[in-house]
């Protein structure tokens, strides 16, 4: 394992998903405070793009941290994600199958484009296998992803024939903060509920084994 990969895995093991979530929210709050000092369109565009980057990083680190927390999540990923399920490996890699399985899952999760919201939600569900999936609306977060795409690739213009330009003001920036914070909270709760459910199941099994 390369030193960079080792350090990343070490950090993820030391930081549970709840702590990663708090780090992201604190960073968003800092940016929100800084945003009060400038209302220029260029500044707002930059902040919206950065907000989404923070969200993507948080989503990536939360799910990778959970996978490292227990082998059940590695197994869930391999069983329920087609790209991992179909992966071919050499016989020599079977010698250390547990670490190799984790490596492949971590690599896959690192390569995901975390602005593809529907894909991210499906991967979270595949890895976590929650007892219940609380449905929450994705319309606002998907619209923010489109806005960020227009900022990065079209300097704020929409993909329409008349090249309509988005409005960028303080309200636009505040809406972006609200949407990202709400989505991250939903995804963090999805993880927490699934982890609690699996831990309770394990406790019940352990108690049964004692009698």
**8-43 tens-digit pLDDT:** 889 999 999 999 999 999 999 999 888 777 889 999
Share of the chain above pLDDT 70, in %: 90
| Structural domains in the chain (count) | 1
pLDDT beyond 90 at 140: yes
Domain limits at 29?
3-210
For residue 11, how many other CB atoms are within 10 A of its CB?
12
Model confidence pTM above 0.85? yes
pLDDT beyond 60 at 92: no
**Where do the H-state alpha helices sit in 70-169?**
71-80, 82-85, 97-111, 117-128, 139-154
């Amino acid at each position: 394992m390369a030193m960079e990969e080792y350090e990343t895995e070490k950090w993820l093991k030391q930081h549970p998903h709840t702590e990663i979530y708090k780090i992201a929210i604190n960073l968003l709050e800092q940016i929100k405070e800084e945003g009060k000092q400038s209302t220029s369109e260029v500044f707002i565009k930059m902040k919206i793009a950065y907000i989404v980057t923070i969200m993507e990083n948080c989503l990536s680190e939360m799910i990778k941290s959970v996978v490292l927390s227990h082998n059940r999540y590695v197994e869930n990923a391999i069983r329920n994600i087609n790209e991992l399920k179909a992966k071919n490996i050499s016989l020599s890699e079977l010698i250390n199958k547990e670490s190799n399985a984790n490596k492949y899952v971590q690599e896959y999760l690192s390569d995901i484009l975390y602005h593809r919201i529907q894909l991210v939600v499906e991967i979270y569900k595949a890895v976590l296998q929650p007892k219940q999936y609380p449905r929450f609306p994705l319309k606002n977060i998907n619209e923010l992803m489109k806005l960020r795409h227009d900022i990065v690739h079209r300097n704020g213009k929409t993909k329409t024939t008349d090249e309509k330009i988005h409005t960028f003001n303080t309200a636009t920036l505040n809406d972006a903060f609200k949407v990202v914070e709400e989505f991250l909270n939903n995804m963090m709760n999805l993880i927490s509920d699934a982890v609690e459910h699996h831990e309770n199941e394990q406790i019940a099994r352990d108690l049964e084994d004692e009698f």
